[in-house]
Structure 1
């Protein structure tokens, strides 16, 4: 799975976490590992242009998604030949717009960008929120994916912290502890 992040926004963005949350969502949604996803962070002006051109709505927005190919693994026949890399689509984020939303929601800009990344990925996968039932389904899934991703990251950080403590206490720094007898 190839996920490319380009930051043209002028706002500092932790690209590795954007890739991590996007990859997590795609994996959990059982999307083919052959996908390519492009995520671009843009300025308010660039987002305004995209929003007006493609949605015919004035001003900027927080996230836009432009799907390309339908390659969700569950929709392929089991005897179909392996497909090569295919472009799932583009997710466009606007950190400057997202800042105010983060403040209103009471969380960090990074948290808001993670939410918007998952939101954009779900749009690429065909989810929408025009109708109340669609909104409940999409936002519920979005919240579960974010919660599970955050939980897994926190668990991994706790395990790593414990590993470092163990190494210090046991004096095993630099030893390969996977070998039998150690």
Structure 2
């Protein structure tokens, strides 16, 4: 798992640098290389953050970091064109919106349990964090579209945003069921 995490971080940093210093002609017209490059490098640091916050719970932390790396990589693959699969009947966006919260809910709860919280309290805390983050992300997409013209959806809480939030909540529920079975 540690190698996968480092590979993902190195990949995000290299892609971020390529976006920041590469000529604009390298990228599709809809790319915004500077903000995308900054976000990509930010992903590498986001994956590292649990190591600083939870230094003494090695295995659960690695599982959480791996889940985070996989989820962010899937999101990055979407930016490379996989979001467009919906035109061919493949709801890649909804797949990511279910999978990432499922992975983070499951591994995040296990991480807090390793720190001494009960499974129920840990699950509630992680579910609340993911739920708030899910709504917050849709607001960030709206702001990025309206004020920075980054090409995200520009209507706040439109049909797509509502389905994204529903998919996120579905992921929370799926992981919650899996964790409940372990009680």
Alignment TM-score, normalising by the size of structure 1: 0.31
Considering only CA atoms, is the larger Rg found in Structure 1 or Structure 2? 1
Higher percent of residues as strand: 1
Higher percent of residues as helix: 2
